[in-house]
Amino acid sequence: MRKWGIGLSTLLVAAFMAGCGGKEDGKEALKAADQPVTLSVFFKCFQVTDEEFAKFYVNPTSKKYPHITLQNVACTGPNQYKDMIVTNSLPDIIVDGVTNLRDLVDAEIPTDLNELIKQQQFDISSVNKQSIQFVKNFAKNGELYSLPITLNTFATYYNKDVFDILGVPYPKDGMTWDDYAGLARKLTVQKDGIQYLGLQLGAFNRLPSQLSLPYVDSQTGKATLQSEGWRNVFETWKTIHDIPGNRTPEAKNLYSGRNRFVQDKNVALFPDIAMPEGSLIEYEKSGGKWDIASFPAFKEKAKVGVGVFANGMSIPKTSKNKEAAFRVIANLLSEEAQSEAAKNGWMPILDKADVQQHLLANSALYKGKNVKAFYYNELAAPYPLTKYDAIATSKYTEALRQYVYGSKDLNTVLRETEEATNKAIDAEKAK
């Protein structure tokens, strides 16, 4: 993964001598590179336990760079990074989902990593290209404001007990949304006083990402909801929830399929992001039996899964330790670190089969499970991003809820929501 032309030590000396022209100065640069340094690492939109921080970040770093100490800065709120700007206390590294990178870019926080990549001769060619392109969509001139370090994986979890009770064959890799809707009709049954739900879904943004649908036109700044792609997404959700008996009573629960799968145990199929192992351990303790199949694809896009959902690392411009911070990131993207992390549950970001084969190798929970389902689909191509996507996402999410549970026809829902979204965007532009 890394390509250190003439070696790290020689490279540092040569680079410094080129700028300052002296052997003694070069020795000083080499010495400074190995001086003990503590880097603060801020997890912007999620929490990590001390065990996770040690396993995935500290241990691989200290093994490669014993002089670098990582300090966990826990997230206390969604706007904490804004307070850090005011108090001049931004960290050396920020870890966040790349879908949330807009906040940092708009605040002009991240360093363009291209120069550090060039300086340290780091080869990113094995990093998933879709994830790199997704990050570059936040840039104006090819800047790279984050390096993705792990993908979020998606699959279809299924309750083997429900299939066995109802005598329906288990799902297979490669099935489409139409296939799953057909299965759901067979599995949405009331038997022995229990209402079984054939298919439940999670968050709103999974399906539109499969079709690479923009929320807002990047050229016009207008909502894009009245398109065939978005119509397809809304109709797919409606078809699934119109299966008699498959709809939960309250609209507010439309996006909470995981709870019904894990807690109620009456859901047959639940396609979504990989679940925390803790949830599945409790599921098994209560007698539940499960496995996974590939995430369903749209029939017109066979083997195309969910888009880029990845965690990445950025380096704020204010960091005084950019070179050391980048070494940490580069090391976490090494084949050795990615393979070890994969064994413990990280979906590797490297497109290398010999790294991916280690996924969940240390997990007793996934032993004997169809782990290859996580790799079955390709990532969908990134969609064009705009600064108004959050506004559109909020409007579209509520519109789908109203469509599934309301009485308005699809044309009316799409038209009214698009109009409301454009008004909200115009109001934001006027600020």
Residues 6 or more apart whose Cβ sits within 8 Å of residue 249: none
User: 96 φ, ψ to 5°?
Assistant: -160, 160
Residue whose tokens read 């057909």: 182
Write out pLDDT tens, residues 129-182. Answer: 999 999 999 998 999 999 999 999 999 999 999 999 999 999 999 999 999 999
Write out pLDDT tens, residues 370-408. Answer: 999 999 999 999 999 999 999 999 999 999 999 999 999
Supply the mean pLDDT for the chain: 91
User: 307 φ, ψ to 5°?
Assistant: -75, -160
CA atoms within 13 A on the CB side of 146: 29
C-alpha span between 7 and 350 (Å, rounded) = 23
> Where residue 45 falls among pLDDT bands split at 50, 70, 90?
confident
Residue 298 has pLDDT above 60, yes or no: yes
pTM score:
0.88
C-alpha span between 244 and 236 (Å, rounded) = 15
Of residues 345, 368, 349, the one with CA closest to residue 358 = 345
Of residues 359, 341, 170, the one with CA closest to residue 274 = 359
> Where residue 27 falls among pLDDT bands split at 50, 70, 90?
very low
Of residues 311, 321, 312, the one with CA closest to residue 91 = 321
- CA-based torsion, 402, 403, 405, 409: positive or negative: positive
Alpha helices, H only, 242-388:
257-259, 277-285, 322-332, 335-343, 353-356, 373-376
Residues 6 or more apart whose Cβ sits within 8 Å of residue 181: 199, 236, 239, 240, 243
List domains and CATH numbers for the chain.
8-25+32-152+309-356 (3.40.190.10), 155-306+381-429 (3.40.190.10)
- Per the document, the length of the chain is 431
Q: What angle do CA 110, 347, 123 make, to 5 degrees?
A: 55
Copy the structure tokens of residue 184. Answer: 């759901």
